[in-house]
């Protein structure tokens, strides 16, 4: 048996309830993992509200770290007793123990503790594919400017540090002066409070009128127009989230008139479609964390029983960095 958070219908944080559920044996391609910590992500809110619909009843949560308890047929990269961490489908990581597909579960290297593992896999692998693989046609070079919204959030503070390590000048936005300070402390070259400032105008100022090569936009509805206005010709708008709501259809003519722009709507799980690509991305993340270039900033910890409050705080923009559920 395991304590697990379930929802019976889409809705507010009050739909998140802890239940005692039965946990079976792993089938082919699966493992059973006992979590030591679980990561919270904004996608969990989309799953809860139904922006990304789930079949009911549903588990919630896509990130965790713990110890492998049992291994199903055909799983060769994990053994019983391994320390492991993951970002993976299907949702259901808000629990003590679960059976799940093994493909996206990686062995956690020595020197990376469970809380760090639980906090960093979904957010860190997202920063990885954004900064390394979601690039303008001519790529990114040392000193290039990129714009990154919600820079003091979970993905954001990891991206600030990783961008600095790559020699990029990340212009971060955030909803308060305190959050801007945090982004700067984590490696953002510039920070703009987009609650009080016109960020597109500030980006133009900072870049000497040119604009950035890429705008990484997870805020969506409230920011995408400003993101387009922050791009230089041939620039790339990478919309990877809906913090303020989904981006409505964009008129392709806008991309022409603003300078032959590109738009993409990437998701982590396209990049993690195979065991090989998952491990290669994870190895890159593990290396940058073990080197100390990227420190995983855990801003909040909640008990599993306090999961409703954790969701309220995440949606109310009260959190910074990564959030975990402790077990």
Ligand X SMILES: NC(=O)c1ccc[n+]([C@@H]2O[C@H](COP(=O)([O-])OP(=O)(O)OC[C@H]3O[C@@H](n4cnc5c(N)ncnc54)[C@H](OP(=O)(O)O)[C@@H]3O)[C@@H](O)[C@H]2O)c1
Residues that bind ligand X (CB under 6 A): 41-43, 122-123, 126, 150, 152-156, 174-175, 179, 218-219, 222, 240-244, 266-268, 314-315, 317, 319
Decide whether 84 or 268 has the Cβ nearer to ligand X: 268
User: In this complex, which beta carbon is closest to ligand X, that of residue 6 or of residue 242?
Assistant: 242
Which one, of 9, 241, 18, 223, lies nearest residue 122 by Cα? 241
For every residue of 222-234, DSSP letters joined together read TTHHHHHHTEEEE
**Rounded Cα distance, 6 and 57, in Å:** 7
For the CB of residue 322, give the shortest distance to ligand X in the complex, in Å. Answer: 7
d(CA 239, CA 219): 8
Q: How far is the CB of 126 from ligand X (least distance, A)?
A: 4
CA distance 12 to 92: 17
| CB nearer to ligand X: pick between 99 and 237 | 237
DSSP-assigned beta bridge partners for residue 39:
63, 324
Cβ at position 271, least distance to ligand X in Å: 8
Strands 169-174 vs 190-193: parallel, antiparallel or unpaired: parallel
User: Could you tell me whether strands 169-174 and 145-148 are parallel, antiparallel, or unpaired per DSSP bridges?
Assistant: parallel
Give the shortest CB-242-to-ligand X separation in angstroms: 6
Ordered alpha helix ranges (H), the chain: 42-49, 114-133, 154-165, 177-185, 199-206, 224-229, 252-257, 268-271, 275-290, 307-315
Tokens of 262: 């590109």
Of the pair 61, 154, the CB lying nearest ligand X is at 154
Residue whose C-alpha is closest to residue 199's, from 236, 162, 163, 224: 224
H/E segment holding residue 35: strand 30-40
- Which neighbouring-strand residues pair with 214? 146, 236
Least CB distance to ligand X at residue 220 (A):
7
Q: Which residue is nearest to ligand X (CB)?
A: 153
Residue 170 CA, distance from chain mean position: 17
Shortest Cβ distance from residue 119 to ligand X (Å)? 10
Closest to ligand X by CB, 2 or 244: 244
Check the CA dihedral 302-307-309-310 and report its sign: positive
Q: What's the min distance (Å) between Cβ of 260 and ligand X?
A: 24
Q: Which is nearer to ligand X, 43 or 131 (CB)?
A: 43
Q: CB 121 → ligand X: shortest distance, Å?
A: 10
Decide whether 207 or 323 has the Cβ nearer to ligand X: 323
């Amino acid at each position: 048996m395991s304590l697990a958070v379930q929802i019976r219908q889409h809705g507010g944080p009050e739909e998140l309830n802890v239940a005692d559920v039965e946990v079976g044996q792993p089938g082919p391609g699966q493992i059973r993992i006992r979590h030591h910590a679980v990561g919270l992500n904004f996608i969990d809110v989309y799953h809860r509200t139904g922006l990304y619909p789930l079949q009911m009843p549903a588990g919630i949560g896509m990130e965790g770290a713990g110890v492998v308890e049992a291994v199903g047929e055909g799983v060769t990269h994990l053994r019983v007793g391994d320390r492991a961490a993951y970002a993976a489908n299907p949702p259901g990581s808000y629990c003590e123990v679960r059976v799940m597909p093994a493909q996206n579960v990686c062995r956690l290297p020595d020197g990376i503790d469970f809380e760090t593992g639980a906090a960093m896999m979904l957010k860190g692998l997202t920063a990885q594919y954004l900064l390394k693989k979601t690039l303008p046609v001519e790529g990114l070079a040392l000193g290039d400017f990129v714009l990154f919204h919600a820079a003091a959030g979970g993905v954001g503070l990891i991206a600030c540090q990783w961008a600095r390590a790559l020699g990029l000048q990340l212009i971060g936005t955030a909803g308060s002066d305190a959050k801007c300070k945090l982004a700067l402390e984590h490696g953002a070259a510039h920070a703009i409070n987009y609650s009080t400032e016109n960020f597109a105008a500030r980006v133009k100022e900072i870049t000497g009128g040119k604009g950035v090569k890429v705008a990484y936009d997870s805020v969506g509805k409230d920011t995408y127009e400003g993101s387009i206005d922050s791009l230089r010709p041939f620039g790339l708008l990478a919309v990877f989230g809906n913090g303020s709501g989904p981006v409505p259809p964009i008129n392709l003519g806008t991309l022409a008139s603003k300078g032959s722009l590109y738009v993409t709507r990437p998701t982590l799980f396209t990049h993690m479609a195979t065991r090989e690509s998952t491990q290669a991305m994870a190895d890159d993340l593990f290396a940058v964390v073990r080197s100390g270039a990227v420190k995983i900033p855990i801003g909040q910890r909640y008990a599993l029983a306090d999961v409703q409050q954790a969701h309220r705080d995440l949606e109310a923009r009260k959190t910074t960095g990564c959030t975990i559920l402790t077990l």
